[in-house]
Amino acid sequence: MDAQLEGLKYDANGMIPAIVQDHATGEVLMMAWMNRESLAKTAETGKTHFYSRSRGKLWLKGETSGHVQTVKSIATDCDKDTLLIKVEQAGAACHDGYYSCFYREYQPKSDWKVVGRKVFEPEKVYR
């Protein structure tokens, strides 16, 4: 693996959080975890790959839905323990059908309000 990427700070489980942002609009799309292998694969292929801690496996974002993310840049923070990846998003980032996973906003003394824009119907994409 590239020394730059090896030099990042992975947590005790070998993971680093990756924030994914739309390179054109600046919308934050999602946050997911990468291990060294998924990050190396992301850098090599130009498509985001993550590591699912619940399923214990590497996944290509969009492998089922076709909603892949094409990498425009990879940045890290002052502590080198978080990534910010700017992408071009095909379709939508969220499996609930919204363009961004952050589609719910806090409303004091009320309940989470859906503010995101819905792009597709999940039941038509995931069978």
Nearest to 32 by CA among 91, 103, 83, 87: 83
Kindly state whether residue 28 participates in binding its own copies, applying the rule CB under 8 A.
yes
- 76, 87, 92, 120: which one binds its own copies (CB under 8 A): 76
Kindly state whether residue 123 participates in binding its own copies, applying the rule CB under 8 A.
no
Kindly state whether residue 88 participates in binding its own copies, applying the rule CB under 8 A.
no
- 110, 123, 124, 127: which one binds its own copies (CB under 8 A): 110
Buried b (16+ CB within 10 A) or exposed e, 72-99: eebebeeeeebbebbbebebbbbeebbb
Kindly state whether residue 115 participates in binding its own copies, applying the rule CB under 8 A.
yes
Kindly report the backbone phi and psi dihedral angles of residue 52, in degrees, each rounded to the nearest multiple of 5, phi listed first: -85, 115
Kindly state whether residue 58 participates in binding its own copies, applying the rule CB under 8 A.
no
* Site size for its own copies (CB under 8 A): 41
